Structure 1
Amino acid sequence: MPRRQMHMTGADGAALRAALRELRTKLEVPGEFPAPVLAEAERAAAHPRLPEQDSTDIPFFTIDPPDSVDLDQAMHLAKRASGGYRVHYAIADVAAFVTPGGALDAEAHHRVTTLYFPDGKVPLHPAVLSEDAASLLPDRTRPALLWRLDLDADGRVETTDVRRALVRSRAKLDYDGVQKAIDSGTAEEPLALLKDIGRLREALERERGGISLNVPEQEVVAQDGSYALSYRAPLPADGWNAQISLMTGMAAADLMLASGTGILRTLPNAPDGAVGRLRRAAKALRIDWPHHVPYAELVRSLDPHRPAHAAFLQECTALLRGAGYTVFSGGETPDPAIHSAVAAPYAHCTAPLRRLADRYAGELCLAAVAGAEPPRWAVDGLAGLPERMAEGSRLANTVERESVDLVEAAVLKDRVGETFDATVIDVKEREPMVGTVHLEDPAVVGRVESSREELPLGERIRVRRRPAGPGAAKILIATAGGGAGVP
């Protein structure tokens, strides 16, 4: 999970955009798609491999940010006559367009994942597919992997099925609109059930010891001719929607484990000392964390609308570092097999337009349900896939981290020399004069260096903005005269 999600709103940001272009060049981010890839994508868009099953009678809907057009998932929720619920979850069928071994397939293996910058994205697939022919746009018939998950009255999965089908979304919804419709009681039953099922799944997550972080999304907005930072705190609807995806990923992992061939998303337990460092950060931010309260319970009690809580949630993402992919075949038992944050076996399978591994997982799940041998490409391609995905994840994390630095530098560009109230929320163990501070205003989490003294973890200090324009690779916030007790 990235440290922060960002996008730009309103601000012209010419200098910032130039710096982001330079960042793309420095990181050797893929540029335009080669002509053969675009030509193959055009042909595939015009002639996809369509399934026989027609499920266009199910009135699916999507939930995404308002400006999203690469729509991987659509859902329909219903009550079962015998009790419990039925979830239909349609996932874009990228394999219906991509020929194994072709130019499009090779380019996807080169790119691995969609990269997100504050001012735009670098897609995994050409727009003719990811934003059109393969996207589950409203009122368009599309090939999909159609999951059917039957749940009991407590939200536990009783049966799982997945097969190829034609689907048709009826509505493109956004999180704010979904939340308002549910809260006001105007949502129709298929949408209203998102709250019921989402809350049941959240209860099961608590029961098994899992944790979901409601990390605020950082926005750059125009303000008085300059920049400002604001947070969009996740809505309950964000979490309910995420639970449907998590449930499907867990079901996918179970299918692949039962079949003996698959690719899991795994995360080891947090290293020794990680939770202790979070406790120090909580103290620094004046967040009460009694010793008898588990980490997961504390996180659920936080309000991401509050700046201190938002900053702590950002720090919590440190516990999610080390996630990777584990492949297995021939009936072997994978090790590791658990994603510690999910607290269960889990697989990435719901975002194939944006992640390469999801196409493999979907294909292996189809074969597992059918009791058939998976296609050769889906088995042979597992070799080396974790390494490819790890490299893509490293690049995505670097893009995110350096983009944060550029944006925060842009926000503070005209405030060089000013001093700010801040709290030291982290100090490097081997460099105690270097750490991280949370500024009270603006809402910036930035690097701090002390010129003479060790930084006082958990204490408020005054910091001064060093000269650093939006083209700087890092934000440097120097202490105003030292560490503790800075006037």
Structure 2
Amino acid sequence: MPLQRVHFAEAVPEVFRASLQDIRRELEVPDGFPPEVTAAAEAAAANARLPALDRSDIEFVTIDPPDSMDLDQALHIERAGDGFTVHYAIADVAAFVQAGDPIDTEARRRGETLYAPDKRTPLHPPELSEGAASLLPDQVRPALLWTITLDASGEMTGVTCERALVKSRAKLNYAGVQKDLDAGTAPESLQLLREVGKLREQHELERGGVNLPIPDQEVVTSNHGWGLEFRAPLPVEGWNAQISLLTGMAAAQLMLKGKIGILRTLPESHDDLRRKLGNTAKALGIEWPAETTYAEFIHGLDPSEPAHAAMLAACTVLFRGAGYTAFDGSVPEQPQHAAMKAEYAHVTAPLRRLVDRWTSEICVALSAGTEVPAWVRESMDDLPKIMDEADRRAHAYERSIVSMVEAGLVADQVGAEFDGVITDVDEKENARGIVALSKFAIEGRVTGTALPLGQRVRVKLVEADIAKRSVSFELVG
């Protein structure tokens, strides 16, 4: 499920710091790396296993938030007749990490990188994730080089994945790239990113897929107290995400053809989910016609509008229930990711997500027609459980942080009344449910006699506790 990221416009206020520490303690979020892991990372950084193929001639660039140093992906796109060739370089973690070594053992314990407003808890030691393995500019690095050909409509026509040395020419950020694209001064490769990205977005809409442009949430202060603002993703973020999705779909096709792999899968959602999201839309004043599908509705949202941004954040529940399906020798009965309406695998973030190291090894072998490494086959059945637990912790971390911030937003308004909509009611006890406020883009527990599902109501705030990360209301009247 996509994560909601919370940022603070200024330094994290003291009132939230203790709660963030409590969250990390409760969820057993690691603090630093054991000495033996750091030592192993330092040794690995100095002794990378480098491939023979040198493709440092390709003029790759990375596009990430300005402060990112764990650069997983580098991009270059060129025209090929009336179509396109996408070169996508992915950090090769396996060039530094071996199965069973201290770095691998610790990474299996963590599963994925965790994010909080005051710190990042990385999957791999910074000696690798922000140093020797990161696709930093002007550095020759080992990488998994994906070469994907597309026709004029943006449909994939071919794919290879191989190990190669690459060299990024520049560390770019989204705002700068968007500015250059809007001004017409961006280099051809980035202009083609826009062109290909739009074509892929059209394919997504046509197949009924959903790729949520989740807005970042930023806590701001003013003379009136706390406020929560949504930062709308820039168009280039969506186009860049389409290249990652394209690569994940290409990987899934390789795996299904080779009858071995680890897919990201999701069953179809249920009617009660549409009902809940419909009620949230009503609370936010957004029309959702009955004949409009999930995909059409979401593609029609404008993340630059606060209510629409809040709706996109609520729509992350569409991805709830996603998991990993490992297979070897036969194809899964349900291989598709229902929200994307496509077969898909995680392969583009190995510095930040454990499973990508396994899937990358599988794709390199399948592309070359060689045997999948024994260590991959022997341990791949363990990956779904490891990643499910990592996802559970990441989403619990996210939910706790969001709940903490929401409690802070209304902490000084206990006793005040608000307008809202009942978005969910407990199936066993209709006096308990969830209310979404119309004034704030937040939800909270609500109690009252026979809560009217989907109806506008008046509620009173009875609790807003930052330490407990709790917001509660009671029905008025």
State the TM-score bracket (shorter-chain normalisation). over 0.9
Paired residue for 2:471?
A: 475
Paired residue for 1:248?
A: 247
**Conserved? CA contact 2:261–2:362, under 8 Å:** yes
1:278-357 → structure 2 map (5 Å cutoff): 278-330=277-329, 332-357=330-355
Paired residue for 2:31?
A: 31
**Conserved? CA contact 2:108–2:386, under 8 Å:** yes
Are 1:191 and 2:190 an aligned pair?
Answer: yes
Choose the corresponding residue for 2:420, options 422, 430, 439. 422
**C-alpha distance in 2, partners of 1:370/1:174?**
34
**Conserved? CA contact 1:11–1:227, under 8 Å:** no
Query: Tell me, what secondary structure is at the counterpart of 1:7?
Result: strand
Paired residue for 1:411?
A: 409
Structure 1 range deviating more: 247-256 or 176-185: 176-185
Report the Cα offset of residue 163 of structure 1.
0.8
**Conserved? CA contact 2:435–2:446, under 8 Å:** no
Give the letter aligned to residue 138 of structure 1: P
Paired residue for 1:14?
A: 14
Are 1:123 and 2:122 an aligned pair?
Answer: yes
**C-alpha distance in 2, partners of 1:239/1:374?**
33
Structure 1 range deviating more: 30-39 or 277-286: 277-286
Are 1:90 and 2:89 an aligned pair?
Answer: yes
**Conserved? CA contact 1:78–1:193, under 8 Å:** yes
Paired residue for 1:144?
A: 143
**Pair 1:418–1:290, CA change in 2 (3 A):** closer
TM-score by length of 1: 0.93
Are 1:457 and 2:453 an aligned pair?
Answer: yes
Aligned length: 477
1:201-240 → structure 2 map (5 Å cutoff): 201-224=200-223, 226-240=225-239
Structure 1 range deviating more: 418-427 or 132-141: 418-427
Could you list the runs of 5+ residues in structure 2 that have no partner in the other structure?
none
Are 1:132 and 2:131 an aligned pair?
Answer: yes
Give the letter aligned to residue 77 of structure 1: I
**C-alpha distance in 2, partners of 1:22/1:462?**
33
Query: Tell me, what secondary structure is at the counterpart of 2:393?
Result: helix
Paired residue for 2:442?
A: 445
1:42-81 → structure 2 map (5 Å cutoff): 42-80=42-80
**Pair 1:259–1:12, CA change in 2 (3 A):** closer
**C-alpha distance in 1, partners of 2:385/2:138?**
38
Could you list the runs of 5+ residues in structure 1 that have no partner in the other structure?
none
**C-alpha distance in 2, partners of 1:300/1:169?**
33
Query: Tell me, what secondary structure is at the counterpart of 1:401?
Result: helix
Deviations 1:164-219 (A, max 9, x none): 11111111222222222212212111111111000100111122221112222111
Report the Cα offset of residue 84 of structure 1.
0.5
Give the letter aligned to residue 195 of structure 2: D
Give the letter aligned to residue 417 of structure 1: G
Percent identity (aligned): 51
**Conserved? CA contact 1:289–1:298, under 8 Å:** yes
**Conserved? CA contact 1:281–1:426, under 8 Å:** no
**C-alpha distance in 2, partners of 1:421/1:11?**
32
**Conserved? CA contact 1:71–1:131, under 8 Å:** yes
Paired residue for 1:390?
A: 388
Moved over 4 A (4+): none
**Pair 1:11–1:226, CA change in 2 (3 A):** farther
**Conserved? CA contact 1:11–1:220, under 8 Å:** no
TM-score by length of 2: 0.95
Structure 1 range deviating more: 260-269 or 312-321: 312-321
Tell me the C-alpha RMSD between the 2 structures.
1.8
Are 1:275 and 2:274 an aligned pair?
Answer: yes
**C-alpha distance in 2, partners of 1:434/1:179?**
46
Structure 1 range deviating more: 166-175 or 411-420: 411-420
**Conserved? CA contact 1:198–1:243, under 8 Å:** yes
Deviations 1:406-445 (A, max 9, x none): 112223333333333434333333343333333344x331
Report the Cα offset of residue 225 of structure 1.
8.8
**C-alpha distance in 1, partners of 2:122/2:138?**
23
